[in-house]
A = this chain, B = another copy of it.
Amino acid sequence: MGNSYAGTGGGSGADDGRPDSGVRKADSFDAAILGVPISKTSISHSAAFRLPDAIRSTFHSFSPYNMNRRLDLSEVLHVVDVGNVQMHLTDLQLCHQRIEDAVKSYWQSHSAPVIVLGGDHSITGAAMLGLTQATERTYGVIHFDAHHDVRNLEDGGRSNGTPFRTLLSSGAVSGKHVIQIGLRDYVNARAYHEYVLQHGVTVVTAREVHHRGLMRVLEEAYRIVSDGTDAVYLSFDMDVLDQSHVPGVPAPGPGGLAIYDVIEALEWLGAKPNIEMMDIVCADPSQDFRDLTTRVAANVVLSFLTGLAMRKQTAVDMG
């Protein structure tokens, strides 16, 4: 696919740690892709920092054509790849600051949706802080994950176990605008479950998704995150999928979501007009089997992009 998009290439960022953008007017492209290659902030050993480039590399063997929608993304969308936020080798706090700065800087001059390729889940905290500081808007959050990710920040600082603690405790987002989908038994402590409930977060377990169907859950989710907010952030942790689909996530487990449902869900979400930012995190190409997990990640992103293309076409039709 690669070249069929009018991207700026996947080159590494500039020396100040911000992506090499020189990005101009918001109207010159339809979406931006931003790589955030960090995973030293993970609780378990992870090379998720390789995911951004692994997804890009997978794109090259893919076609931009969605048969079901008869939509060639390269014809409809102008997507710019603004490169990777440059990480510091040993100062991880600085890494988070650079992510926050990069996202903030982007949103100070742009309005096109951003797809963040992680990296581990610690990036969501930094990204949303940058986003909210830049736009000063109220955000709803749809969070696909097997885990709550609300560990305390005292013991180990900002890790992939803490992003929603960061966001809920700082007030950057309100729990009533947050829905977590796909949580699994035996991988979350009771204290974390109670913490999010106390903050008003809506929790939909993987079991409920199995019983009710993902699309029905999403319709409810979308209502919750859109009601009383200016826009929506979508955070996708790959381990929400059943481990048979994502052998390369650091924390695989059985009983998770089914891949086909997720692909349709992401397309549906991509088409929603108020989703401004999406991230995809926590897959480790070095522990994968034959890139199966990276292929899933690439499909998730492509499905969201197809949704964006549908969003654009709808806008044009209505214009």
Contacts and interface: CB of A to CB of B under 8 A. Distances in A.
Contacts of A64: 186
A305 B124 CA distance: 35
Interface residues on A, range: 35 or more
Interface in A282-319: 286-287, 289-290, 292, 295-296, 298-299, 302-303, 306
A89 B50 CA distance: 20
Contact of A62 (B41, B47, B187, B193): B187
A190 B157 CA distance: 39
Interface in A238-295: 242-245, 247, 252-255, 259-260, 263-264, 286-287, 289-290, 292, 295
A245 B244 contact: yes
A156 interface: yes
Given A72-B190, A255-B259, A295 B65 contact: no
A6 interface: no
Contacts of A263: 254-255
Given A67-B185, A90-B93, A244-B244, 6 more contacts: A41-B89, A41-B90, A91-B93, A210-B260, A245-B254, A252-B295
18 contacts: A45-B286, A62-B186, A65-B189, A67-B183, A68-B185, A68-B205, A70-B193, A88-B156, A89-B156, A90-B92, A90-B93, A92-B92, A206-B260, A242-B259, A243-B292, A244-B259, A247-B292, A255-B259
Give the top 5 A-B pairs by smallest Cβ distance, nearest first. A89-B156, A90-B157, A40-B40, A66-B185, A65-B190
